[in-house]
Structure 1
Amino acid sequence: APGPIAEIELWRDRASVLSALCQQLKQPMVQKILDVTTKANPAIIHTLNGTIADLSKYHSESDNNVFFLKTLERHFLNLAAGSDFTMMKETIPEMMESLQIIWQISRHYNSNERMVPLMERIAWQLCEQVSRGLHVLKLLKVNREEAYSMVLCAKSVLEQWKSSYYDVRAAIEKSGRAPRWEFDHKRLFEISDYMASVCQDLCYVFQVQKEFHNFFDPDMKSREQIKEMLIRLDGLVSLFEEVEFDPFNISENGNWKK
C-alpha cells in the first residue's frame, strides 16, 4: 500500500479535474448547448440535472477532503522523510490529534470506510521506514552502541503509533461527545506490533553483546579464553549477515523465531 501522501494527491487531482469540469459547464457556449439539447429532448433534463448535481456534490466532497487532509501534510512528509526515528516519534502524537479533529468535524472522513484506509496508509509508511532504517547489513556496519540505539528508537516509534491511538480513544471516551474511536486493530497494528517484537529481539541481542563486552575490563579481555569467548559472541551476531529473508516481514515470522 502506498503512504498517506498518496491520499492527499488523490483528492487534489480529483478536485482539480472536477473543478475544471464545473467551470466548463458555466461557459456560455456549454449553456447554449445544454439549452438546445433539453429543448430537443425534454425527457433528458432530469438525467442531465442529476448528473450536474452529482458533479457538484463530488467537487464539494473533493475540496472538503483536500482542506482537511492538508492539515496532515507536514506530518505525512515527516514520516515519509523518515530517516530520523526521533522526529518520527515526535510527529505521531500531534498527527493523531489532527486525525481526531478530522474524525470529529469533517463531513467525509467521519466513517470507518474513510478513516481506516487512511490510518492503514500511515501504518504502512511507519513500518516501511523502520524496515528500511534497520536493514540487517546496515546495523552490522555500525558499532554496538549505535546499533542498539537505532533499534530501540525504531521500536519506540512503532509503540508510539499504538499508544497515541489509545490516548486519543481515551480522550474521546472521556469527553463523551465525539463518535467512538474504535477501528480495526488488525489492519492498523498487526504488522507494527510484529515489527516491534522483532526490534525487541534485536535489542536483546545487542544488549547482551554490549553487557558481555562491558563486563570484562581491559586486563581480562587480554586473556586468551576471554578474548576467544568475545570473538565467538561477536561471530554469533554476525550470523545475521547470512539471513536470506527480511525479519520484519510478518510472513517470515516462522523463520525468524527459529
Structure 2
Amino acid sequence: MFLTLIVLAVLVILSGIMLVFYTEVARPAQLRANATATMQSFTASTATANVYATGTAHVTATAHAKATTQAKATATAIQSVYANATSGSPAFGSSLAYQDDGNWDTYDAVGGGGCAFRDGALHSTIMKKSFYVPCFAKATDFDNFALETEVTIVKGDEGGVIFRGNDKTSKFYYFRIGRDGFYSLNVSKDDKNSTPLLYDTSSAIKKKAGDMNLLTVIARGKQIYLFINKQFVAGTTDGSYSAGEIGVFAGNNGNETDVAFSNVHVWSL
C-alpha cells in the first residue's frame, strides 16, 4: 500500500513535471510555431505584396511608357498634320508690306495707335491700357484652313492672329502670345466679352522685343490646333464660329504696344 502510494506520488510528480514541461516549454514552442507560422504568413504576404507591388510598378511603368509612346505618337501625328496642312500652294498669301487683295484695315485708333503699313509690314499699335487694336482682312472668308504669319512684338506686351471673324459684330477667335511667355486662345463674343479656351506658358515663345515668332492655326470643323515657331503647343474643340475673316491685332496690358506682321499665308483644307 505504502509502495503504491509512493508510486502514485511519483506518477503525480512526473505528471506535474510533464504538465510543467508542457506548460513552460511547449507553450514557447507553440508560440515559436505560431511565430514561425506568422512569419511564414508575413513572408508569404510580403512576397505576395512584393509581387503585387512589382506587378503594379511594372503595370504603372508600362502604362507610363505606353502613355509616353502615345503622346509622342500623337505629337508626331499632329506635326504631320502641320506639315501636310502647310504644304502646297496657299489660297491666300501676302508679304503685308502694303495693301493687297485682302483689303486690310488701316485706321487711327482712339487714344493713339491703329493699323498702318510701314517699314515693310502691317503694324497694329495700341497706346491705351487694357485695349487692343484689330486689323481685319475684310475681303477674306475661310472656314477650314491653316493660317500662318510672322509676328514681331516691336515693343510692349502682346499680339496675335484673328480667324473666323466678323469685324462688324466683334465675333471671332483670337490666338495671342505675350512677352511674358504666355499664350491663349479666346472666343470674342462682342466688344466687351470674350471666353478663354486655352491659356498656358510655352518655351517656344521668343520673348525679347524685336524677336519674330511664327504663329500657325489649323482649324478644321470644331478642331483647332495651335503652333508657335512650328511647334505644337495646344489643341481644343469649339463650335462657336465656323467661318469668317482673318486678321491680326496688338494688345496693351499696361505698356504701349507695337506689333509688326509679315508674310501671312492661308491654305484651304
Q: TM-score, normalised by structure 2?
A: 0.23
Going by fraction, where is strand more abundant, 1 or 2? Answer: 2
Relative to the length of structure 1, the TM-score reads 0.24
More helix per residue: 1 or 2? Answer: 1
Greater relative CO (CA pairs within 8 A, separation 6+): 2
Q: Which has the larger radius of gyration?
A: 2
